[in-house]
Amino acid sequence: MAIELSLENWTRIEQHGAEAYPNECCGMLLGQEKDGRKIIVDILPLKNARDDSPRNRFLILPEDFIRGDQEAKSRGLDILGFYHSHPDHFAQPSEYDRQHAWPWYTYLILGVNGGVPGALTGWLLSQDGGQFLQEELRVSDKGSASAGRP
């Protein structure tokens, strides 16, 4: 399934990752599924509630998840997935990410090296939960991109 987001939302994810560095940032992807595509209309940046290891883990509190769901529904949108950053690491899911992910949701991962945003990649957990599959990531107002800033 292809993921589409605007250049503005791509940039907002990059900014969030840079601001949170050296810790992981996290947030929700709000939008609609249409014709085999997940169209991200907006992002909802959230506070990484992880206080024991925020540099390599993130936590979204249940109340933030509920708030995000209410925000999405009030706008006729759905939670399509989540994003987070990997400080000083590749934009690929870790084993920890796999163990804590849910099938169907998209997971965008932003590599941030030395505080500078790098590649943004999209992932989908297989139905059996055994592996992540890379999703095609497209910028809706500038054509297509699959890794790195368009």
Question: Strand, coil or helix: what is 8?
Answer: helix
Q: What is the pLDDT of residue 118?
A: 97
Q: What sign does the dihedral 42-92-97-53 (CA atoms) show? A: negative
Where does the pLDDT of residue 129 fall: very low under 50, low under 70, confident under 90, or very high at 90 and above? very high
Where does the pLDDT of residue 147 fall: very low under 50, low under 70, confident under 90, or very high at 90 and above? very low
Tokens read off for 37 = 């595509």
Where does the pLDDT of residue 150 fall: very low under 50, low under 70, confident under 90, or very high at 90 and above? low
Instruction: Give the number of C-alpha atoms closer than 13 A to the C-alpha of residue 106, restricted to the C-beta side.
Output: 30
Query: What are the structural domains of the chain?
Result: 2-144 (3.40.140.10)
Pick the residue with more confidence: 100 or 142?
100
Over the stretch 19-28, which tens digit does the pLDDT of each residue have?
999 999 999 9
The fraction of the chain above a pLDDT of 70, given in percent, is 93
Residue with tokens 């991109």: 145
Amino acid in position 138? R
The average pLDDT across 97-114 equals: 96
